[in-house]
Amino acid sequence: MKCLILFSGFWTVWCEDVGCFWHITDTHVDQNYSRTGNVQNLCHEDRNRLQSKANNVSDNGLYGNYLCDSPQYLINATVLSMKYIQSTPDFIIWTGDNLPHTEDFDPGWDITFEAIRNTTLLLTSTFPNVPILPSIGNHDSFPPNILPADNAASNIYKGYLEKGRWKDLINESEWTTFVQGGYYSHLVKPGLRIISLNTILWYEPNNLTAKLTDPGNQFQWLDGILKNSSKFSEKVYIIGHVPPGFYNRGLPGQKCGPTFHLPHLESYLNILHKYSPVISGQLYGHLHVDMFQVYQYNTGVFKGSSLLASSVTPWHSNKNDNVSIPVNPSVRLIHYSRTDARLLEFDQYYLNLTKANNITKMPEEKTNVYELLYSFAKFYGVPDLSTESLVQVYEILKRNKTVFDSFFTFLSAGERTVDCDSACKVTQICSVSCSSSQEYDMCFKSSDYNCSTTPNPPPHTSKDSVIIYVSICFVTVAIILLLLIVVRKFWISSGRSEYSRFTSI
């Protein structure tokens, strides 16, 4: 319970019921990670021992390597640290991507479901009796990045429930839509609903759904759920793996690609705009970086926002076709109002990978290896995580170089390996503020990162305001006229006296 003491003629104590929840994403656990593996091959042991001996580093690290995905030890340490920091969250959101970025073997669906099951069991055993709400990521499918939307898809989604053990996480009453398309909604408590979307159905590389208007009928279902939430005065958090909008990484001077098929992006943004008063938060992963987005929905006014959590995996690619930066493993603790579902603050916790790997003594099992990197609202000096507050931060980032440099450091959870020049800044700011293709194109052409495609509407003036304004003007004019009359009479009277005095000489 958080209390504020206010004084307005008399003392008032105002209390707000504040809760918290964890957001964990992009674990990308790799069972083939080896401390003596080849870093040019995701820290896997090479089949050719001579090549392995020539290419291996002496030790890739107990907790992982910036060129490789997560060893199981890192995942275990991360979840235990979450429990050490906050063992009784109201719930946990888990936004997907559990398999590695590997290309040297075909995991198949059985291996895919096994990896998901392992993390499911780790979370449920560490946080018993805490609701855990998962979403499907593009690396939770076989092959990666694609999921079908036909009748055969139901068997895949049943696999998540049965073989991945998500039936232990998702209520049986929510299975119908999950089996249909991998999405569901969950009433956390009266007045607060969480909608978990299957964003892979709209994901740009998913060629199985590119030409479908509404893959899995997810748009129709989402519109209906939000309509009911509006009717029953519920607030909603939308969670998913892939955020709408555009990537924040690309080659210098080049635009980044969209995350969704453009027709699906437009349909999704239209729904978000339509029900923006109902949506209290949007929470995604996928980009592996700590970022936020503010949405104009092509209206010229910011009306929505989202928070993007950075990854547990430290992996990055140094290939030119996948520009990314190394990141420290991180997780996020979000504070919210249990009264009205407002997002209030988040604490970003990270593991300094270099520091952790340099520890010579094997850490005890219950030791917390994560540190607080920063708290968002406190650092940026805003009251909460509302759209209005995020817009304030966005405006600060555009004009304050020092704050932007900190933002760019936080982006990778403290692992600052490159500087962000002017072209890089354009890429970051446009990714933060532009969700549609029209806005994004406009942002790249604008010298002040303006992505508004619609001029700001004139301020609304009510009828009462006009009447008051006219009345004030009328009274002001009347007073001025009255003063002029008084002054004129005084001047005339005074003038005659002076004239008489001078002519009498």
pLDDT digits 0-9 by tens, 482-499: 666 654 554 444 443 322
Q: What is the Cα–Cα distance from 368 to 413, expressed in whole angstroms?
A: 17
User: Is 366 within the bounds of a domain?
Assistant: yes
Provide mean pLDDT across the span 305-331: 86
- In this prediction, residue 463 carries a pLDDT of 42
DSSP letters, 5-68, are EEESSSEEEEEE-EEEEEEE----B-TT--TTSBGGGTTBPPSSHHHHHHH--S---SS--TTS
How far apart are the C-alpha atoms of 350 and 77, rounded to whole Å? 12
Shortest CA distance to 292 belongs to which of 302, 234, 349?
Answer: 302
- The two three-digit tokens of residue 362, written as one number: 């094997």
Q: What's the confidence (pLDDT) of residue 28?
A: 97
Helix (H) or strand (E) holding 160: helix 153-162
Q: What is the dihedral of CA 141, 143, 149, 155, to 10 degrees?
A: -60
Per-residue pLDDT reduced to its tens digit, 13-50: 446 799 999 999 999 999 999 999 999 889 999 876 54
Residue 489, domain member (yes or no): no
Q: What is the DSSP string of 305-337?
A: EEEEPPPS------STTS-------EEEEEEEE
> Residue 496 falls within a domain, yes or no?
no
Residue 60 neighbours by CB under 8 Å, 6+ apart: 33, 34, 35, 36, 37, 39, 43, 68
* pLDDT (tens digit per residue) in 414-442: 988 888 888 889 999 999 999 998 899 88
Residue 436 located in a structural domain: yes
Does residue 249 lie in a domain region? yes
What percent of the chain lies above the pLDDT cut of 90? 69
Predicted pLDDT at 325: 84
Instruction: Give the pair of three-digit tokens for residue 280.
Output: 């209290």
Number of domains in the chain: 1
| Overall average pLDDT of the 180-193 stretch | 97
**Does residue 482 form part of some domain?**
no
Q: CATH number of the domain that 23 lies in?
A: 3.60.21.10
> H or E stretch including 84?
helix 72-85
By residue range, what is the domain housing residue 275? 18-39+59-445
**Can you say how many angstroms the Cα of residue 428 is from the centroid of all Cα atoms in its chain?**
14
pLDDT in tens, 62-81: 999 999 999 999 999 999 99
SS3 content of the chain, % helix, strand, coil (to 5): 40, 15, 45
In the predicted structure, residue 176 carries a pLDDT above the cut 70: yes
Short-list 68, 137, 139, CA closest to 99: 139
Residue 323 lies in a domain: yes
In a domain, 208, yes or no: yes
Collapsing DSSP to helix, strand or coil, 186 comes out as strand
